[in-house]
A and B are shown apart, each in its own frame.
Chain A
Amino acid sequence: MQATPDEVLIGRIASGDRLAMQVLYARHHVRVFRFVLRLVRDEAAAEDLISEVFLDVWRQAGRFEGRSAVSTWMLAIARFKALSALRRRPDEALDEEAAGAIEDPTDDPEMTLEKKDKSASLRKCLSGLSAEHREIIDLVYYHEKSVEEVAEIVGIPENTVKTRMFYARKKLAELLKAAGIERGWP
């Protein structure tokens, strides 16, 4: 026997099945939480948001048409809620979080140490990307979403998905270069 597919769980949730909701939650809540957390950068806010995301799933399950994967649908809801929450935060623009990441490496002893650990530097620079670039990198690499699925979640054309991914990676290379790691690309 295989695990009940997400689409079947959604059908049961539409009928008011709480157990199906628990199964769906157990299956997806960590990934949805991490996706939201990377956008809002606040654990308490991310927890509140995932409760709202799954409450929306409970309410809208009857309207799910199965044209995309359930996880893609949920990430699209999560993204909408995270961006709405960020807009409500005063004095905080979406891309301003990146500012702190671009530092002069010669003035940062911590970064100097990290040069010895390329992986740690890469992770630090990944964290320093703008929300837009973090989002696309996470969707492609961590959430394993195809070009078409990313286009659906983010609400942009497929060619823009590829272009945005290219610029996100280019920015990452620039951050690494600023940290003293030359990758020979782009």
Chain B
Amino acid sequence: MNMINKEPERHEIEALLPWHAAGTLNRRDADRVEQALAGDHELARRYDLVREELAETIHLNETLGAPSARAMEKLFAAIDAEEARAPRRKRSFDLSARISEFLSGFAPRTLAWSAAAAAVAILLQAAVITSVLVKDNGNVDGPTLSSAMSN
């Protein structure tokens, strides 16, 4: 049994259990908690208590129901009244917002492949331009150098 001997460290890990149960810890902290849980039966027992609390908190909130349509009607009536008083000026053309909206429509995998393809295309283009330039420089320098040697 590889129980955590240092009490402050154990206390710190225990404080993170609610967030670990909810899945909102960063990767590093989640790994620390997982390692501690694997080697400490008492901590694992306390984690089970946390999971019970989480399940019942969700249950409790889910039984609260939802607001009636009155809330939405009231909201949009207030928005209409506000717009009638002082209409907000619409943005004529917000390029960054439109680009962001356009890109957000694609799946992350699609975006990653597109970015990789674009990077390859840029590299190829750079290679072609470089080879053309080197070739041109070679043609210009060659005769000059040889004519200098002959003189």
Contacts and interface: CB of A to CB of B under 8 A. Distances in A.
Interface of A: 1-2, 4-5, 8, 11-12, 14-16, 18, 21, 25, 29-30, 33-34, 37-38, 43, 46-48, 50-51, 54-55, 58-59, 119, 122-123, 126-127, 137-138, 140-142, 144-147, 149, 162-163, 165-166, 169, 172, 183-185
Contacts of A172: 53
Nearest to B91: A15
Contact-residue size bin, chain B (C-beta under 8 Å from the other chain): 35 or more
Nearest 5 pairs of A and B residues by beta carbon: A141-B57, A47-B71, A146-B24, A51-B75, A51-B74
Q: Which of B25, B83, B87, B91 has the most chain A CB within a 10 Å cutoff?
A: B91
Contacts, number: 135
B67 A16 contact: no
Contacts of A183: 49
A38 B70 CA distance: 19
Nearest to A14: B91
Contacts of A126: 53, 56-57, 60
Given A11-B97, A18-B76, A47-B68, A147 B19 contact: yes
B52 interface: yes
A127 B16 CA distance: 23
B72 interface: yes
Nearest to B15: A162
A43 B57 CA distance: 19
A141 B59 CA distance: 11
Contact of B60 (A29, A48, A123): A123
Given A123-B56, A141-B22, A141-B57, A50 B100 contact: no
A142 B107 contact: no
B18 A141 contact: yes
Contacts of B142: none
A83 B146 CA distance: 88
Contacts of A54: 75
B97 to A, nearest CB: 5
20 contacts: A1-B107, A2-B107, A4-B101, A16-B87, A33-B64, A47-B74, A48-B71, A50-B75, A55-B79, A119-B55, A119-B56, A126-B56, A140-B22, A141-B18, A141-B58, A142-B61, A144-B22, A146-B25, A149-B24, A165-B15
B90 A15 contact: yes
B151 to A, nearest CB: 68
